[in-house]
C-alpha cells in the first residue's frame, strides 16, 4: 500500500510507527501503518469517526496481527499542520479514494461509515469488503436538537477509555470544524447509496448506541444485502473493544 499523502508530522502510538512520508500535489495525510502484507489477504484501512484517530489504535494493532493495516488521519485532526481536506463527508471520501491504490477492506466508524460507503460507491474496484460500525445518522437525527438528545442518551453509557483517543483531537479541531463535519454527515443520505454497493458489507452496532439506532443499522445492512451484528457497548465501542472489533473485521474479510 503506498502512502502518497503521509505527513512530515507523524502521529505516533506505542508500538506503531507512521508510514514513510511521500509528498504529492494533492496534500498530506498522516497515516499509521502496522503489520505485514500476506498472500491472499487484503490490507485493512481504518477510518475514524468525527476525525479522531486515537481511539482506533487498538483496532489497528489487532488487524495488524492478520495483515497489513493502516489508520488514516482524515480530515486531519490528529496532529498539527494543515488538514488533509475539508471536514466534510464528500471531501474526506475523495481523499480516501485517492489514497487507496489496491483493493482493501475498508472500516468506517460513526461518520466515517458514511465516508466508507461513499468511497465504495465511487471506487468499487478498490474496496474488497466494507465494515460499517455505528453508522450515522438516521433521518430523525438530521437536526441538531434530536441529535443532541441522542448524544446525551448515549454518553452515559460510554467508557472513559474513549476520552484520551478523542478529546485531544476534538480540541485541536475546534467547535467550528466539528460542527461543519457533523452538519455534513446530517446532510448525507447513506440509505440511498447502500443498494449500489457491490462488495460484502457488515454493519456492526453497539447495543446501547443511540446515535445509530438498531432499526436504522439493520435497514442499512438489508439494503446492501449485507450482514448485521450487535456487540456490547455504546457508540464508541471500538475504543474499549479494539481486539474484538479487529477480530470482526478480519474474520469478515476472510469470509
Give dist(CA 196, CA 194) in Å, integer: 5
Domain boundaries, the chain: 17-253
Residue-wise pLDDT tens digits, 37-62 = 999 899 999 999 999 999 999 999 99
Give dist(CA 52, CA 20) in Å, integer: 21
CATH number corresponding to 17-253: 3.40.50.1820
Residue-wise pLDDT tens digits, 81-129 = 889 999 999 999 999 999 999 999 999 999 999 999 999 999 999 999 9
Give dist(CA 55, CA 49) in Å, integer: 9
pTM recorded for the entire structure: 0.91
Residue 154 has which C-alpha cell? Answer: 448515549
Amino acid at each position: 500500500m503506498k502512502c502518497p499523502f503521509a505527513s512530515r508530522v507523524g502521529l505516533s502510538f506505542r508500538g506503531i510507527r507512521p508510514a514513510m512520508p511521500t509528498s504529492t500535489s494533492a496534500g498530506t495525510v498522516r497515516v499509521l501503518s502496522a503489520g505485514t502484507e500476506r498472500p491472499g489477504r487484503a490490507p485493512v484501512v481504518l477510518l475514524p469517526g468525527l476525525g479522531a484517530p486515537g481511539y482506533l489504535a487498538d483496532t489497528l494493532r489487532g488487524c495488524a496481527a492478520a495483515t497489513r493495516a493502516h489508520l488514516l488521519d482524515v480530515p486531519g485532526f490528529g496532529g498539527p499542520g494543515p488538514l488533509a481536506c475539508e471536514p466534510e463527508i464528500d471531501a474526506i471520501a475523495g481523499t480516501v479514494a485517492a489514497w487507496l491504490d489496491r483493493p482493501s477492506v475498508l472500516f468506517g466508524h460513526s461518520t466515517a461509515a458514511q465516508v466508507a460507503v461513499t468511497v465504495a460507491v465511487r471506487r468499487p474496484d478498490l474496496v474488497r469488503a466494507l465494515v460499517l460500525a455505528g453508522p450515522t445518522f438516521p433521518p430523525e437525527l438530521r437536526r441538531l436538537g434530536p441529535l443532541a438528545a441522542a448524544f446525551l442518551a448515549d454518553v452515559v453509557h460510554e467508557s472513559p477509555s474513549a476520552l484520551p483517543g478523542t478529546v485531544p483531537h476534538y480540541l485541536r479541531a475546534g467547535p467550528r470544524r466539528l460542527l461543519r463535519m457533523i452538519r455534513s454527515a446530517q446532510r448525507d443520505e447513506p440509505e440511498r447509496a447502500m443498494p449500489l454497493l457491490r462488495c460484502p458489507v457488515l454493519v456492526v452496532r453497539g447495543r446501547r448506541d443511540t446515535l445509530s439506532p438498531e432499526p436504522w443499522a439493520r435497514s442499512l445492512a438489508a439494503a446492501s444485502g449485507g450482514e448485521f451484528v450487535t456487540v456490547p457497548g455504546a457508540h464508541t465501542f471500538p475504543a474499549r473493544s479494539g481486539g474484538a472489533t479487529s477480530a470482526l473485521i478480519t474474520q469478515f474479510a476472510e469470509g
